[in-house]
């Protein structure tokens, strides 16, 4: 399948949480990973999205020439010199601390996006590597090749987890030890909310390397199975009781409205927030799912995830105790069903009993009515958000005769700002045509945008292209959901290797 087109970056006029908190007197800071654009360093950067202060140094997470030698030393001139506790100097952590030290006398918001744990999988601490080789009972790696032992046995990964604990701990310790200048007699931590979470489940591996194993959860990052979507979440702060574990279903989308509520910040009038305000849940009873309500005031029991690209090509919906997965690439794979249904929990009043978070028992055939009802609800929600879906690839070897009937482009012509395209139907009806254009073709951070073209009678397609465009492609979609691109171009992965730009294969704007 072919992933649908999507914008390579966050819109520059997006009303981010940082922008809104600034209007309420907060100084906003960011340290670590960003990647809200095509490239980490492409537009927009944190300062373009409301952050007053930003640093993106990878620190000790910068790639190593070899992960089995060249470890950090005690030498002062070593940029990763070991500290008094034997941990490599990590610029990302130090940047987070610098922001707090410079701004702790004001209301502050820090987005600390640590590069731990993330590829490349390595540690600059030889001592940590040896520690976990011994703990795991595995031989210390002697070459720079990938780790191939299956299961939760990668000593590099374990070392990185300890580093995460250490560097995050330094930030937390600062909050615990530092007096709050605006609240005499109290520490910063007493007046600070902390959200600790991850953006996806653990990456179990990639070609040539086993990173970890999310057992008992199925799969991991780049999947909508529980191993890919279920993440750690710890929230502490004023008014939140300690030591409470909750099974209430929440989502990262909830952080925006929750932080607005906890900080007394006004919601943007023209901003639609899909998340729910968790402040009532956190401050009253974190175990009561009835305290999580949608924008209409109803108890929220439904969430969806949509991942129509990469290796997933799937959408999923959770309604109460049940989760349904819709697979888009089932048609040409006999071992993959279109729908999967799992009962994750059994709820009695507000108490949840774990049933099958392993997603080992597909109940789709056993409960066809529930499956279809959940699929219909999923369709309604995806339609509401104008979701894009994956397409079939006419160049795929395993697809049969249908791919020979796809439409084809005969010619393109530009007259002023109008693009006129002649096409031919070769057995299937054309149902959609898009013009994919760039405003900076061949630039370092090349960007592409999409406008829907008009399909007219007589095999003609027309589209108005912005006057400052540099290049364009034409995408055709037929009634069997095949996508034809004109001109043809290598995929993104291939271009990443050759360093070519998409504009090299596109049609120049006259």
Residue 208 has pLDDT above 90, yes or no: no
pLDDT in tens, 133-187: 999 999 999 888 889 999 999 999 999 999 999 999 999 999 999 999 999 999 9
Where, residue-wise, is CATH 2.60.40.760 in the chain?
401-508
C-alpha 368/C-alpha 136 separation (Å) is 45
CA dist 78 and 198 (Å) reads 31
Q: What is the average pLDDT value for the chain, to the nearest integer?
A: 94
Q: Is 433 left (phi over 0), alpha (psi -120 to 50) or beta?
A: beta
pLDDT tops 80 at residue 350? no
Handedness of CA 491, 492, 498, 503 (dihedral sign): positive
Confidence band, pLDDT 50/70/90 cuts, at residue 47: very high
In CATH, 303-384 is 3.30.1120: yes
CATH of segment(s) 401-508: 2.60.40.760
- Rounded to 5 degrees, φ, ψ at 458 are 80, 20
Over residues 127-147, the pLDDT tens digits come to: 999 999 999 999 999 888 889
CATH code linked to domain 17-291:
3.40.720.10
Give, in order, the Cα–Cα distances in Å from 183 to each of 73, 106, 119, 192.
Answer: 41, 11, 41, 12
Region(s) of the chain under CATH 3.30.1120: 303-384
pLDDT value at residue 143? 86
Q: Which pTM was predicted?
A: 0.92
Which pLDDT value is given to residue 334? Answer: 65
CA atoms of 384 and 134, how far apart (whole Å) = 53
Q: Of 445, 201, 456, whose CA–CA distance to 312 is shortest?
A: 201
**In the numeric block, which tokens belong to residue 412?**
């393109």
Asked if 339 and 375 touch (Cβ cutoff 8 Å), the reply is yes
Residue 494 is predicted with a pLDDT of: 84
For residue 178, give the H/E element and its range: none
> Taking the C-alpha atoms of 410, 414, 415 and 420 in order, what is their torsion angle to the nearest 10 degrees?
40
Residue spans in the chain of domains classed CATH 3.40.720.10? 17-291
Exposed / middle / buried, residue 338 (Cβ in 10 Å: 0-12, 13-18, 19+)? middle
């Amino acid at each position: 399948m072919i992933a649908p087109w999507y914008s390579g970056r966050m819109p520059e006029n997006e009303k981010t949480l940082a922008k809104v908190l600034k209007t309420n007197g907060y100084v906003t800071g960011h340290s670590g990973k960003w990647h809200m654009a095509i490239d980490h360093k492409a537009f927009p950067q944190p300062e373009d999205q409301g952050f007053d202060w930003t640093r993106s140094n990878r620190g000790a997470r910068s790639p190593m020439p070899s992960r089995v030698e060249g470890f950090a030393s005690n030498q002062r001139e070593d940029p990763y010199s070991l500290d008094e506790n034997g941990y490599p100097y990590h610029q990302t952590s130090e940047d987070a601390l610098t922001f707090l030290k410079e701004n702790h006398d004001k209301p502050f918001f820090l987005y600390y996006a640590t590069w731990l744990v993330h590829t490349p999988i390595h540690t600059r601490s030889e001592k940590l590597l040896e520690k976990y080789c011994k703990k795991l009972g595995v031989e210390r790696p002697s070459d720079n090749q990938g780790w191939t032992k299956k299961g939760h046995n990668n000593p590099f990964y374990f070392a990185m987890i300890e580093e995460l604990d250490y560097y995050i701990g330094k930030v937390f310790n600062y909050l615990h030890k530092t007096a709050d200048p605006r609240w005499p007699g109290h520490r910063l931590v007493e007046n600070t909310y902390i959200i600790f979470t991850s953006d996806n489940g653990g990456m179990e591996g990639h070609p040539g390397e086993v990173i970890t194993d999310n057992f008992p959860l199925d799969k991991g990052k780049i999947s909508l199975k529980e191993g890919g979507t279920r993440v750690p979440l710890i929230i502490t702060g004023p008014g939140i009781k300690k030591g409470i574990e909750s099974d209430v279903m929440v989502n990262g989308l909830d952080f925006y409205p929750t932080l607005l509520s906890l900080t007394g910040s006004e919601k943007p009038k023209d901003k639609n927030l899909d998340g729910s305000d968790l402040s009532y849940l956190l401050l009253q009873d974190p175990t009561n799912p009835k305290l999580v309500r949608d924008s209409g005031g109803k108890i929220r029991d439904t969430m969806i995830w949509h991942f129509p690209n990469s290796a997933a090509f799937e959408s999923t919906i959770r309604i109460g105790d049940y989760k349904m997965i819709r697979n888009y690439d089932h048609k040409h794979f006999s071992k993959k069903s279109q729908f999967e249904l799992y009962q994750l929990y059994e709820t009695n009043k507000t108490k949840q009993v774990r049933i099958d978070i392993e997603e080992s028992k597909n109940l789709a055939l056993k409960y066809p009515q529930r499956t279809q009802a959940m699929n219909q609800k999923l369709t309604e929600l995806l339609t509401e958000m104008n979701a894009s879906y994956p397409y079939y690839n006419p160049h795929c070897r395993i697809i049969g005769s249908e791919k020979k009937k796809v439409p084809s482009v005969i010619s393109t012509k530009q007259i002023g700002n109008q693009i006129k395209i002649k096409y031919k139907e070769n057995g299937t009806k054309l149902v959609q045509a898009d013009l994919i254009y760039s405003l900076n073709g061949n630039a370092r951070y090349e960007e592409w945008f999409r406008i829907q073209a008009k399909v007219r009678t007589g095999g003609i397609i027309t589209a108005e292209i912005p006057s400052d465009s540099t290049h364009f492609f034409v995408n055709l979609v037929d009634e069997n959901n095949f996508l034809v691109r004109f001109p043809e171009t290598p995929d993104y992965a291939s271009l990443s290797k050759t360093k070519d730009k998409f504009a090299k294969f596109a049609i120049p704007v006259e």
